[in-house]
Amino acid sequence: MPRATPVLGPAAVDVTLDVNGHARAIHIRPQRTLLDALREDLGLMGAKKVCDEGTCGACTVLVDGRPVYACMTLAVATAGRAVETVEGLAHDGGLHPVQEAFIAHDAFQCGFCTPGQIMSVVALLRARPDVTADDVKRAVTGNLCRCGAYPNIVAAALAAAKRKK
């Protein structure tokens, strides 16, 4: 059933988000989620809206280095914090090692969950470069993949970890 929640609340506010190292000023209602702010206000379509209720992980982005579900995070609450999305990973034309490993290990099929998977793995490897398969599984257990790319996601994460060492 459509959730017919009326749009209530105070008027729109000005807020500046730090997204992938760039200050981005937007004018949004306070109840706007970070996911909607990224997709609708900033045109960053990497994070996907799959469930919009915090159950699938396809919208995973990093806030101050920690993975969060952007659909469960208010955009205004991230003001002054560093938001990182999949669009910010590649630098100077080169892919991030996790992105490269995902391609090499065929860690996606349709690719819709991939940006979220990658952000979860990136956060893990930054926090702990030395990881086991169980660590990877714990890190992406909140990132569903309906195509079932899981074995390759784990392999890709382990390969990226090895390369980073």
Partner 1 sequence: MTKVVRTRVEFEGSVSEELALVQGEDAEPWAQGEELVIVGHPQRRVEGIAKVTGRARYTHDLRLPGMLHARMLRSPYPRARVRRVDPSKALALPGVRSVLHRFNAPKAAFRGEETIFREEVRFVGDEVAAVCADSEAIAEEALALISVDYEVLPHVVDLEEAIDEASPRIDEHGNVHDADRHERGDVRKAFKEADAVVEATYRTATQMHNSFETHGAVAVWDGDMLTVHESTQHIFGVRRGLQAALRIPYGRIRVVCDHMGGGFGSKGGVGKYSIVAALFARELGTPVRCVLDRHEENLAAGNRSATLQKVRIAAKGGRINAIAHDSWSNAGQGRWIADPTGPTKSLYDVPNVLTRSYRVLANTGSLAAFRAPGYVEGTFALECAIDELADRIGIDPLALRRLHAASDRDPISGLRYSLKRLVDCYDIGAQEIGWSRRRPKGLRASAPGLRRGLGMASQIWSGGGTPPAYATVHLNPDGTAVVRIGTQDIGTGTRTIVAQICAEALGIAMADVRVEIGDTDSPYAPISAGSLTVASIGPAIRLAAMDARDQLLDVAAGILEVSKAELRVEGGAVVSRGARTPIAKVFEELQNYTVIGKGARLPNSEELVLKTFGAHFAEVEVDPRTGEVVVDRVVAVHDVGRIVNPLTARSQVEGGVIQALGFALSEERVVDRPTGRVMTPGFESYKVPTVKDVPKIVVRFVDAPDTCANNTGTKGLGEPPIIPTAAAVANAVANALGIRVRTLPLTPQRVLDAVEAAPAAKGGEADRRGDRRS
Determine, following the binding rule CB under 8 A, whether residue 144 of this chain makes contact with partner 1: yes
Determine, following the binding rule CB under 8 A, whether residue 104 of this chain makes contact with partner 1: yes
Determine, following the binding rule CB under 8 A, whether residue 11 of this chain makes contact with partner 1: no
Determine, following the binding rule CB under 8 A, whether residue 60 of this chain makes contact with partner 1: no
Select from 62-70, 75-83, 102-110, 122-130 the region that touches partner 1 (CB under 8 A): 102-110
Note the Cα 155 to chain centre separation in Å: 19
The rounded distance, in Å, linking the Cα atoms of 113 and 58 is 5
- Residue ranges in 62-101 that form contacts with partner 1 under rule CB under 8 A: 85-87, 89-90, 95, 99-100
- Residue ranges in 24-43 that form contacts with partner 1 under rule CB under 8 A: 39-40, 43
Distance in Å, CB of 115 to partner 1, minimum: 5
**Neighbouring residues of 138: CB distance < 8 A, sequence distance ≥ 6:** none
Determine, following the binding rule CB under 8 A, whether residue 12 of this chain makes contact with partner 1: no
DSSP 83: E
Do 101 and 163 touch, CB atoms closer than 8 A? yes
Select from 10-18, 75-83, 122-130, 132-140 the region that touches partner 1 (CB under 8 A): 132-140
In the chain, DSSP assigns E strands to: 13-19, 22-28, 60-63, 66-69, 82-84
Q: C-alpha angle with apex 41: 35 to 44, nearest 5 degrees?
A: 60
Cα-only R_g, the chain? 16
Q: Which residues bind partner 1 (CB under 8 A)?
A: 1-7, 39-40, 43-53, 55-56, 58, 85-87, 89-90, 95, 99-100, 102-104, 106, 108-115, 118, 136-137, 140-141, 143-154
